[in-house]
Structure 1
Amino acid sequence: MNMLESILYPPPPSLFINAMSAATVILLANSGISEVRGRNMAYSKFSNWKEAVSGKSSSTITGTKASGRTAMLLVYSPALAAALASFFIPGVVTTPRQALVSAALGVHFLKRVLEILFIHKFSGNMMVHSSIPITFSYFTNTVLIIVSQYLSTGMPEPDINLTYAGIVLFLVGITGNFYHHYLLSKLREKGDKAYKIPTGGLFNLVICPHYLFEIIDHFGIALISQTLHSYCFAFGSMFYLMGRSVATRNWYMSKFENFRTGVKALVPYIF
């Protein structure tokens, strides 16, 4: 407990936020397990999972569809708006740490939006109802991280200040994530919708280096924040992305006979 107290603010005096922190880890970890079991969130290469499971064509599946670009903008824009709004709501951002947390969240989601607009290439449509849980998760957890930081005002500071370590991790994570997203975008020429085995960067060692750097990004924000909810979201995201990366590796192995079995899912040489 002493170690935790040295790197964490005391839990906020809010039963709701503390319960949501525990629920975040549990729900995201369960989502990671579901990914491994084949119940994948329907975006990216898994966007047609209903057809694969049901044997129905996309035309027989009911529900509102949006282009992949529009759907992913729907996923990230509310969280970006929440991060930016925190600077304009009186009293929410009053300390350097609070400003850094809101800024890091804002940069994280602004990068995502800009990538969707200018970097990513999308291969198809996405069911709108599939994007809603992801949108809700990002928006809710962004708000809860900011509110947890606000509630830490006046509480004893953690004995170990991890702010600078968090900034370094955040910059490494967001840069590495962007670089590997850029490499993915270069796999397709204009109009090309076929999937290919990615190469370059850490893709020669793991199939999801962009997830690895996203995890580093989330832990960077957690170290800047040092609140219970920020750590819970970072760990929950890690568990989910671990499951997603395993599912992605399995997908590539099933689709490409020349996929190298030595390429790991997430962590080079290890996992």
Structure 2
Amino acid sequence: MFFPIWVSVAMDILSAFLFPPPPSTFVNVMTVVSSTSLAMAGLSEIKGKHLQYSKFWNSNSGSKLSAQESKLSSKYGMLLVYTPAFLAGAASFWLFPSGDERFFLLKSALTLHFFKRIFEVLFIHKYSSKMVLKTAIQISFSYFLSTAIMIYTQHLSQGLPEPPIDLKNIGVGLFLTGIIGNFYHHYLLSQTRKQEETAYKIPKGGLFSFVICPHYLFEIIGYFGFAFISQELYPLCFSIGTAIYLAGRSYATRKWYISKFENFPNHVKALLPFVF
């Protein structure tokens, strides 16, 4: 009897914050698949199995880029990663021109998020390596699919009674905090090396004095902004999965810096100041 009662209590609590699950088998299945896949990817990062685009992925045991494997510059690879999701967000204003304030805020936040990513790729980031084409396509599809599902899920909720507790304004605050903090720390990263330099350095400034991946911390905050604006189950689960994945990448990033720099400060954590 305990398990059904526990589930019932949990569902009652969630129902105060979330719209009911949409009448879509596809969305409900993808809620489980997306969040689980991200969480597993995060655990893989902790175990040392990295996606083939980071500065430390080739620390995988026995992993080497095959001469036959298609590669492209990191700049064009990252454009490929972010552009389809941005187009999905922009197209949503044409595909779903009507809707309530919550729907408009979600579409705007998603579109602005990926516009910012593209802007950074073109004008902020510096590159010194190549990216595996297959990896770029996989990540691009993931971003595009998650963006499209968030928008479609919100579309399905139009006309339904609002959750008793309205979190969309808090969501806007989280999103703005996340996107500004993420941009600022990406800018600091870009200033770590001079124009002609290719060697990595320990980043400084902002929250880099406390964690090695403050840009991931603010990215997580931004994703929970989507979840709070939407108040749908899919964005919430996707945000939790993203948090687990980026926690894994942060752990791997700190481990990489410790292996490369003897003077890496011990007090600098991976993601959460003084904690992790």
Distance 2:68 2:62 in 1: 13
Choose which of 47, 59, 62 in structure 2 pairs with 1:54. 62
Distance 2:177 2:112 in 1: 13
Distance 2:243 2:197 in 1: 31
Please show how residues 30-41 of structure 1 align to structure 2 within 5 Å: 30-41=40-51
Matched, 1:176 2:181: yes
2:133 aligns with 128
Contact kept, 8 Å, 1:86 with 1:93, in 2: the verdict is: no
Secondary structure of the structure 1 residue equivalent to 2:72:
strand
Aligned length: 266
Distance 2:63 2:246 in 1: 27
Matched, 1:77 2:87: no
1:214 aligns with 219
> Which structure 2 residue ranges, 5 or more long, are not aligned?
1-10
1:27 aligns with 37
Moved over 6 A (4+): none
Q: Amino acid of the residue matched to residue 68 of structure 1?
A: S
Distance 1:55 1:266 in 2: 26
Choose which of 15, 34, 45 in structure 2 pairs with 1:5. 15
**How far did residue 61 of structure 1 move?**
3.0
Distance 1:61 1:80 in 2: 32
> Which structure 1 residue ranges, 5 or more long, are not aligned?
none
Cα deviations by residue, 1:115-144 (Å, 9 ceiling, x for unpaired): 000000011111101112211110000000
**How far did residue 55 of structure 1 move?**
6.8
Q: Amino acid of the residue matched to residue 27 of structure 1?
A: S
Cα deviations by residue, 1:236-255 (Å, 9 ceiling, x for unpaired): 11010000000000000111
Secondary structure of the structure 2 residue equivalent to 1:45:
coil
Matched, 1:262 2:270: no
Contact kept, 8 Å, 1:174 with 1:217, in 2: the verdict is: yes
2:237 aligns with 232
- Relative to structure 1, the CA distance from residue 194 to residue 85 in structure 2 (aligned partners, 3 Å threshold; closer, same or farther) is same
Please tell me the root mean square deviation across aligned C-alpha atoms, in Å: 1.3
Please show how residues 102-251 of structure 1 align to structure 2 within 5 Å: 102-251=107-256
Secondary structure of the structure 2 residue equivalent to 1:187:
coil
**How far did residue 109 of structure 1 move?**
0.3
Q: Amino acid of the residue matched to residue 35 of structure 1?
A: E
Please show how residues 94-109 of structure 1 align to structure 2 within 5 Å: 94-109=99-114
Cα deviations by residue, 1:202-256 (Å, 9 ceiling, x for unpaired): 0010000000000000001110010111101111110100000000000001111
**How far did residue 85 of structure 1 move?**
0.2
Cα deviations by residue, 1:131-181 (Å, 9 ceiling, x for unpaired): 122111100000000000000012221001101100111111100000000
Distance 1:184 1:223 in 2: 29
Using the size of structure 1 for normalisation, the TM-score is 0.95
- Relative to structure 1, the CA distance from residue 108 to residue 55 in structure 2 (aligned partners, 3 Å threshold; closer, same or farther) is closer
Distance 1:54 1:233 in 2: 31
Secondary structure of the structure 1 residue equivalent to 2:55:
helix
**How far did residue 93 of structure 1 move?**
4.2
Contact kept, 8 Å, 1:83 with 1:106, in 2: the verdict is: yes
